[in-house]
Amino acid sequence: MTATHDNETLFQPLRIGAIELPHRIVMAPLTRARSTDRVPNALMEEYYSQRSSAALIISEATAISEQGYGWHGAPGIYTAEQVEGWKRITDAVHTSGGRMFLQLWHMGRVSHPDYQGGQLPVGPSSIAATGEAHTPTGKKPYVVPQALSPSAIASVIDDYAKATGRAREAGFDGVEIHGANGYLIDQFLRDSSNQRTDEYGGSIENRLRFLREVVTAVTNAWSADRTGIRLSPTMSGNGMADSDPIELYSRAAQMLNRFQLAYLHIAEAIRPGRLYNADAPRVTPYIRAEFEGVLFANGGYEKATAANAIRTREADAVVFGQKFIANPDLPERLRADAPLNEPEVATYYAPGAHGYTDYPSLVRS
Protein backbone atom coordinates (compact mmCIF):
# COMPACT_ATOMS: atom_id res chain seq x y z
CA MET A 1 0.00 0.00 0.00
CA THR A 2 1.12 3.59 -0.62
CA ALA A 3 1.94 6.09 2.10
CA THR A 4 -1.07 8.12 0.96
CA HIS A 5 -3.33 5.12 1.44
CA ASP A 6 -1.84 4.50 4.90
CA ASN A 7 -2.54 8.14 5.80
CA GLU A 8 -6.15 7.80 4.68
CA THR A 9 -6.48 4.83 7.05
CA LEU A 10 -4.62 6.21 10.07
CA PHE A 11 -6.13 9.69 9.91
CA GLN A 12 -9.78 8.70 9.79
CA PRO A 13 -11.77 9.93 12.81
CA LEU A 14 -12.97 7.37 15.34
CA ARG A 15 -15.62 7.54 18.04
CA ILE A 16 -14.79 5.77 21.30
CA GLY A 17 -17.79 5.89 23.62
CA ALA A 18 -18.43 9.53 24.50
CA ILE A 19 -15.25 10.81 22.81
CA GLU A 20 -14.56 11.65 19.17
CA LEU A 21 -10.95 11.03 18.13
CA PRO A 22 -9.58 12.95 15.12
CA HIS A 23 -7.40 10.03 13.98
CA ARG A 24 -6.24 6.52 15.01
CA ILE A 25 -2.75 7.12 16.54
CA VAL A 26 -3.00 6.71 20.33
CA MET A 27 -0.31 7.40 22.94
CA ALA A 28 0.39 4.44 25.22
CA PRO A 29 0.49 4.60 29.01
CA LEU A 30 4.20 5.02 29.75
CA THR A 31 5.71 4.95 33.23
CA ARG A 32 8.35 7.70 33.33
CA ALA A 33 8.94 8.16 37.09
CA ARG A 34 9.00 11.98 37.09
CA SER A 35 6.41 12.80 39.74
CA THR A 36 7.35 14.68 42.91
CA ASP A 37 6.52 12.61 46.01
CA ARG A 38 3.78 10.89 43.95
CA VAL A 39 2.27 14.24 42.91
CA PRO A 40 2.08 15.25 39.21
CA ASN A 41 4.21 18.33 38.54
CA ALA A 42 5.03 21.06 36.01
CA LEU A 43 7.55 18.91 34.16
CA MET A 44 4.86 16.29 33.57
CA GLU A 45 2.50 19.03 32.41
CA GLU A 46 5.02 20.05 29.75
CA TYR A 47 5.60 16.44 28.69
CA TYR A 48 1.93 15.62 28.19
CA SER A 49 1.00 18.92 26.55
CA GLN A 50 3.83 18.38 24.03
CA ARG A 51 2.07 15.16 22.98
CA SER A 52 -1.45 16.57 22.67
CA SER A 53 -1.63 15.78 18.95
CA ALA A 54 -2.16 12.11 19.86
CA ALA A 55 -5.67 10.94 19.07
CA LEU A 56 -5.86 10.04 22.75
CA ILE A 57 -3.25 10.22 25.51
CA ILE A 58 -3.50 7.37 28.00
CA SER A 59 -1.69 8.54 31.10
CA GLU A 60 1.13 6.67 32.76
CA ALA A 61 -0.06 4.07 35.26
CA THR A 62 -1.37 5.89 38.33
CA ALA A 63 -1.84 4.29 41.75
CA ILE A 64 -5.41 4.20 43.02
CA SER A 65 -4.30 3.90 46.67
CA GLU A 66 -1.32 3.63 48.99
CA GLN A 67 -1.77 -0.14 48.87
CA GLY A 68 -1.69 -0.12 45.07
CA TYR A 69 1.55 1.86 44.86
CA GLY A 70 4.85 0.19 44.02
CA TRP A 71 7.09 2.12 41.60
CA HIS A 72 9.41 4.92 42.72
CA GLY A 73 8.57 8.20 41.00
CA ALA A 74 5.13 7.12 39.78
CA PRO A 75 2.10 9.35 40.51
CA GLY A 76 -1.08 8.60 42.40
CA ILE A 77 -4.73 9.64 42.30
CA TYR A 78 -5.74 9.14 45.95
CA THR A 79 -5.07 12.57 47.51
CA ALA A 80 -6.40 16.07 46.90
CA GLU A 81 -2.91 17.28 46.05
CA GLN A 82 -2.55 14.61 43.37
CA VAL A 83 -5.93 15.56 41.90
CA GLU A 84 -4.82 19.21 41.67
CA GLY A 85 -1.55 18.19 40.01
CA TRP A 86 -3.39 16.16 37.40
CA LYS A 87 -5.91 18.97 36.88
CA ARG A 88 -3.11 21.26 35.71
CA ILE A 89 -2.04 18.58 33.24
CA THR A 90 -5.49 17.90 31.81
CA ASP A 91 -6.09 21.64 31.47
CA ALA A 92 -2.85 21.97 29.49
CA VAL A 93 -3.69 19.00 27.26
CA HIS A 94 -7.18 20.31 26.57
CA THR A 95 -5.88 23.81 25.86
CA SER A 96 -3.58 22.22 23.26
CA GLY A 97 -6.54 20.40 21.68
CA GLY A 98 -5.90 16.96 23.15
CA ARG A 99 -7.89 14.27 24.95
CA MET A 100 -6.64 12.25 27.93
CA PHE A 101 -7.66 9.17 29.93
CA LEU A 102 -6.15 8.27 33.31
CA GLN A 103 -4.85 4.73 33.72
CA LEU A 104 -5.97 3.22 37.04
CA TRP A 105 -3.23 1.09 38.63
CA HIS A 106 -3.02 -1.37 41.49
CA MET A 107 0.26 -3.27 41.43
CA GLY A 108 -0.77 -6.07 43.75
CA ARG A 109 2.04 -8.52 44.48
CA VAL A 110 4.63 -6.54 42.50
CA SER A 111 4.73 -3.80 45.10
CA HIS A 112 7.13 -4.14 48.04
CA PRO A 113 7.04 -3.72 51.85
CA ASP A 114 9.12 -0.55 51.42
CA TYR A 115 5.98 1.06 49.95
CA GLN A 116 3.60 -0.55 52.43
CA GLY A 117 4.97 0.64 55.75
CA GLY A 118 6.73 -2.67 56.17
CA GLN A 119 3.58 -4.68 55.55
CA LEU A 120 3.32 -7.27 52.80
CA PRO A 121 1.86 -6.30 49.43
CA VAL A 122 -1.33 -8.09 48.43
CA GLY A 123 -2.35 -10.48 45.68
CA PRO A 124 -4.93 -13.11 44.84
CA SER A 125 -2.70 -15.86 46.27
CA SER A 126 0.43 -16.08 48.40
CA ILE A 127 2.71 -16.58 45.38
CA ALA A 128 5.66 -14.27 44.80
CA ALA A 129 6.32 -12.70 41.43
CA THR A 130 9.64 -13.30 39.75
CA GLY A 131 11.99 -10.35 39.39
CA GLU A 132 12.61 -7.21 41.38
CA ALA A 133 10.64 -4.22 42.65
CA HIS A 134 11.74 -0.64 41.88
CA THR A 135 12.06 0.83 45.39
CA PRO A 136 13.38 4.22 46.58
CA THR A 137 16.64 2.53 47.56
CA GLY A 138 17.07 0.42 44.43
CA LYS A 139 15.82 -2.87 43.07
CA LYS A 140 14.80 -5.54 45.60
CA PRO A 141 13.39 -9.05 45.11
CA TYR A 142 9.61 -9.40 45.21
CA VAL A 143 8.21 -10.93 48.39
CA VAL A 144 5.42 -13.44 48.95
CA PRO A 145 2.23 -11.33 49.09
CA GLN A 146 -0.68 -11.60 51.48
CA ALA A 147 -3.70 -13.22 49.81
CA LEU A 148 -6.65 -10.83 49.77
CA SER A 149 -9.70 -11.87 51.76
CA PRO A 150 -13.16 -11.37 50.21
CA SER A 151 -13.72 -8.30 52.40
CA ALA A 152 -10.31 -6.89 51.40
CA ILE A 153 -11.19 -7.48 47.74
CA ALA A 154 -14.35 -5.42 48.23
CA SER A 155 -12.23 -2.61 49.70
CA VAL A 156 -9.89 -2.64 46.69
CA ILE A 157 -12.85 -2.49 44.33
CA ASP A 158 -14.11 0.54 46.25
CA ASP A 159 -10.68 2.14 45.79
CA TYR A 160 -11.09 1.78 42.01
CA ALA A 161 -14.44 3.55 42.20
CA LYS A 162 -13.06 6.37 44.36
CA ALA A 163 -10.08 6.82 42.04
CA THR A 164 -12.45 7.05 39.09
CA GLY A 165 -14.34 9.87 40.80
CA ARG A 166 -11.07 11.68 41.46
CA ALA A 167 -10.03 11.27 37.81
CA ARG A 168 -13.29 12.88 36.77
CA GLU A 169 -12.67 15.70 39.25
CA ALA A 170 -9.17 16.14 37.79
CA GLY A 171 -10.60 16.83 34.34
CA PHE A 172 -9.77 13.62 32.50
CA ASP A 173 -11.95 12.58 29.57
CA GLY A 174 -12.18 9.03 30.88
CA VAL A 175 -10.25 6.26 32.60
CA GLU A 176 -8.44 3.12 31.52
CA ILE A 177 -8.45 0.18 33.94
CA HIS A 178 -4.99 -1.40 34.00
CA GLY A 179 -5.74 -5.11 33.71
CA ALA A 180 -2.38 -6.03 32.18
CA ASN A 181 1.38 -6.38 32.75
CA GLY A 182 1.25 -8.71 35.74
CA TYR A 183 -0.51 -6.21 38.04
CA LEU A 184 -3.38 -7.00 40.38
CA ILE A 185 -6.22 -7.59 37.90
CA ASP A 186 -3.90 -9.63 35.66
CA GLN A 187 -2.84 -11.62 38.74
CA PHE A 188 -6.47 -12.59 39.33
CA LEU A 189 -7.01 -13.50 35.67
CA ARG A 190 -4.14 -15.92 35.10
CA ASP A 191 -3.81 -19.30 36.76
CA SER A 192 -0.06 -19.01 37.37
CA SER A 193 -0.73 -16.28 39.97
CA ASN A 194 -4.31 -17.12 41.02
CA GLN A 195 -4.61 -20.44 42.81
CA ARG A 196 -7.58 -19.53 45.00
CA THR A 197 -10.30 -22.06 45.75
CA ASP A 198 -13.12 -19.58 46.46
CA GLU A 199 -15.39 -17.66 44.10
CA TYR A 200 -12.41 -15.63 42.79
CA GLY A 201 -10.30 -18.60 41.67
CA GLY A 202 -10.30 -21.93 39.87
CA SER A 203 -12.54 -21.75 36.82
CA ILE A 204 -12.19 -19.07 34.17
CA GLU A 205 -15.55 -17.66 35.21
CA ASN A 206 -14.33 -17.29 38.78
CA ARG A 207 -11.01 -15.76 37.73
CA LEU A 208 -12.90 -13.20 35.65
CA ARG A 209 -14.98 -12.18 38.65
CA PHE A 210 -12.57 -9.58 40.07
CA LEU A 211 -12.20 -7.93 36.66
CA ARG A 212 -15.97 -7.91 36.20
CA GLU A 213 -16.54 -6.36 39.62
CA VAL A 214 -13.87 -3.69 39.07
CA VAL A 215 -15.36 -2.74 35.69
CA THR A 216 -18.83 -2.60 37.25
CA ALA A 217 -17.59 -0.30 40.03
CA VAL A 218 -15.68 2.00 37.65
CA THR A 219 -18.49 2.33 35.13
CA ASN A 220 -20.98 2.99 37.93
CA ALA A 221 -18.67 5.68 39.31
CA TRP A 222 -18.57 7.47 35.95
CA SER A 223 -19.91 5.79 32.82
CA ALA A 224 -19.09 2.89 30.50
CA ASP A 225 -18.61 5.21 27.53
CA ARG A 226 -15.71 6.90 29.35
CA THR A 227 -14.05 3.66 30.47
CA GLY A 228 -11.44 1.59 28.67
CA ILE A 229 -9.46 -1.44 29.81
CA ARG A 230 -6.00 -2.77 28.98
CA LEU A 231 -5.17 -6.49 28.85
CA SER A 232 -1.92 -8.32 27.95
CA PRO A 233 -2.76 -11.95 27.16
CA THR A 234 0.78 -13.23 26.45
CA MET A 235 2.93 -10.87 28.54
CA SER A 236 5.31 -13.13 30.48
CA GLY A 237 7.12 -10.70 32.79
CA ASN A 238 7.03 -11.16 36.57
CA GLY A 239 6.40 -14.88 36.14
CA MET A 240 3.00 -14.41 34.50
CA ALA A 241 1.46 -17.19 32.42
CA ASP A 242 -1.83 -18.97 31.85
CA SER A 243 -2.55 -22.53 30.83
CA ASP A 244 -5.12 -21.49 28.18
CA PRO A 245 -4.81 -17.80 27.27
CA ILE A 246 -6.94 -18.09 24.14
CA GLU A 247 -9.93 -19.41 26.07
CA LEU A 248 -9.37 -17.05 29.02
CA TYR A 249 -9.18 -13.86 26.98
CA SER A 250 -11.89 -14.90 24.54
CA ARG A 251 -14.18 -15.32 27.54
CA ALA A 252 -12.99 -11.99 28.94
CA ALA A 253 -13.91 -10.28 25.66
CA GLN A 254 -17.35 -11.87 25.72
CA MET A 255 -17.88 -10.72 29.30
CA LEU A 256 -16.74 -7.16 28.55
CA ASN A 257 -19.23 -6.85 25.69
CA ARG A 258 -22.06 -6.40 28.19
CA PHE A 259 -20.57 -3.10 29.42
CA GLN A 260 -20.32 -1.29 26.04
CA LEU A 261 -16.99 0.25 27.02
CA ALA A 262 -15.22 3.06 25.19
CA TYR A 263 -12.54 0.59 24.09
CA LEU A 264 -10.53 -2.55 24.85
CA HIS A 265 -6.75 -2.07 24.65
CA ILE A 266 -4.69 -5.18 23.92
CA ALA A 267 -0.94 -5.11 24.57
CA GLU A 268 0.49 -7.95 22.49
CA ALA A 269 3.40 -7.67 20.09
CA ILE A 270 2.94 -8.39 16.41
CA ARG A 271 6.21 -10.32 16.31
CA PRO A 272 7.73 -12.86 18.73
CA GLY A 273 10.50 -12.21 21.20
CA ARG A 274 9.18 -8.97 22.72
CA LEU A 275 7.84 -8.45 26.22
CA TYR A 276 4.22 -8.68 25.14
CA ASN A 277 4.68 -11.76 22.95
CA ALA A 278 7.33 -14.08 24.32
CA ASP A 279 7.29 -16.58 21.44
CA ALA A 280 3.64 -17.36 22.17
CA PRO A 281 0.74 -17.68 19.74
CA ARG A 282 -1.04 -14.33 19.42
CA VAL A 283 -4.39 -14.05 21.17
CA THR A 284 -5.48 -10.71 19.70
CA PRO A 285 -7.26 -12.25 16.66
CA TYR A 286 -9.38 -14.40 18.99
CA ILE A 287 -10.24 -11.38 21.13
CA ARG A 288 -11.16 -9.41 18.00
CA ALA A 289 -13.49 -12.21 16.92
CA GLU A 290 -15.38 -11.98 20.22
CA PHE A 291 -15.23 -8.30 21.15
CA GLU A 292 -17.96 -6.14 19.65
CA GLY A 293 -16.59 -2.71 20.53
CA VAL A 294 -13.60 -0.53 19.67
CA LEU A 295 -10.29 -2.40 19.90
CA PHE A 296 -6.87 -0.76 20.36
CA ALA A 297 -3.79 -2.77 19.34
CA ASN A 298 -0.39 -2.14 20.94
CA GLY A 299 2.95 -3.86 20.42
CA GLY A 300 5.75 -2.99 18.02
CA TYR A 301 3.74 -1.40 15.21
CA GLU A 302 5.18 0.76 12.45
CA LYS A 303 3.14 3.06 10.23
CA ALA A 304 2.45 0.42 7.56
CA THR A 305 1.62 -2.38 9.98
CA ALA A 306 -0.62 -0.07 11.98
CA ALA A 307 -2.56 0.95 8.89
CA ASN A 308 -2.84 -2.67 7.83
CA ALA A 309 -4.20 -3.70 11.23
CA ILE A 310 -6.93 -1.09 10.89
CA ARG A 311 -7.73 -1.96 7.28
CA THR A 312 -8.05 -5.65 8.11
CA ARG A 313 -10.23 -4.84 11.16
CA GLU A 314 -7.87 -6.48 13.62
CA ALA A 315 -7.87 -3.12 15.36
CA ASP A 316 -9.72 0.18 15.19
CA ALA A 317 -6.76 2.25 16.41
CA VAL A 318 -3.12 1.55 17.19
CA VAL A 319 -1.28 2.51 20.38
CA PHE A 320 2.36 3.64 20.17
CA GLY A 321 4.70 3.74 23.15
CA GLN A 322 8.42 4.19 22.61
CA LYS A 323 7.84 6.21 19.45
CA PHE A 324 5.82 8.74 21.47
CA ILE A 325 8.60 8.95 24.06
CA ALA A 326 11.04 10.25 21.47
CA ASN A 327 8.60 11.99 19.11
CA PRO A 328 6.19 14.38 20.81
CA ASP A 329 4.71 15.16 17.38
CA LEU A 330 4.45 11.52 16.26
CA PRO A 331 1.17 11.89 14.30
CA GLU A 332 2.63 14.73 12.25
CA ARG A 333 5.82 12.77 11.58
CA LEU A 334 3.86 9.70 10.47
CA ARG A 335 1.62 11.76 8.22
CA ALA A 336 4.65 13.37 6.57
CA ASP A 337 6.75 10.17 6.51
CA ALA A 338 9.38 12.20 8.34
CA PRO A 339 12.34 10.60 10.15
CA LEU A 340 11.70 9.56 13.75
CA ASN A 341 13.88 10.46 16.72
CA GLU A 342 15.32 7.42 18.48
CA PRO A 343 14.49 7.07 22.19
CA GLU A 344 17.27 7.21 24.75
CA VAL A 345 16.51 4.11 26.83
CA ALA A 346 18.76 5.11 29.74
CA THR A 347 16.50 8.09 30.46
CA TYR A 348 13.18 6.22 30.52
CA TYR A 349 12.96 6.29 34.33
CA ALA A 350 15.66 8.87 35.10
CA PRO A 351 14.79 12.15 36.83
CA GLY A 352 14.74 15.50 35.06
CA ALA A 353 13.92 16.91 31.64
CA HIS A 354 16.64 15.15 29.65
CA GLY A 355 15.13 12.35 27.63
CA TYR A 356 11.68 13.50 28.71
CA THR A 357 10.75 16.94 27.40
CA ASP A 358 13.78 17.77 25.25
CA TYR A 359 13.13 15.61 22.18
CA PRO A 360 12.81 17.91 19.13
CA SER A 361 9.64 18.28 17.11
CA LEU A 362 9.65 18.80 13.38
CA VAL A 363 9.22 22.56 13.66
CA ARG A 364 12.25 22.78 15.97
CA SER A 365 14.43 20.33 14.03
Supply the residues annotated as catalytic: 183
Distances from the Cα of 235 to the Cαs of 122, 164, 181, 245, 313, in angstroms? 21, 26, 6, 10, 23
Cβ neighbour number for residue 265 with a 10 Å cutoff: 30
Query: Which H/E stretch holds residue 122?
Result: strand 122-123
Q: Which residues contact 118 (CB under 8 A, 6 or more apart)?
A: none
What type of residue is 327?
A: N
**Burial annotation 195-218 (CB, 10 A radius, 16+ → b, else e):** ebeeebbeebebbbbbbebbbbbb
Nearest Cα to Cα of residue 72 among 344, 350, 321:
350
For residue 132, the cross-strand partners are 141
Nearest Cα to Cα of residue 16 among 8, 28, 24:
24
CB-based burial label for 109 (10 Å; 0-12, 13-18, 19+) = buried
For residue 61, the cross-strand partners are 103
Please provide the DSSP assignment of 41-59 as one string.
-HHHHHHHHHTTTSS-EEE
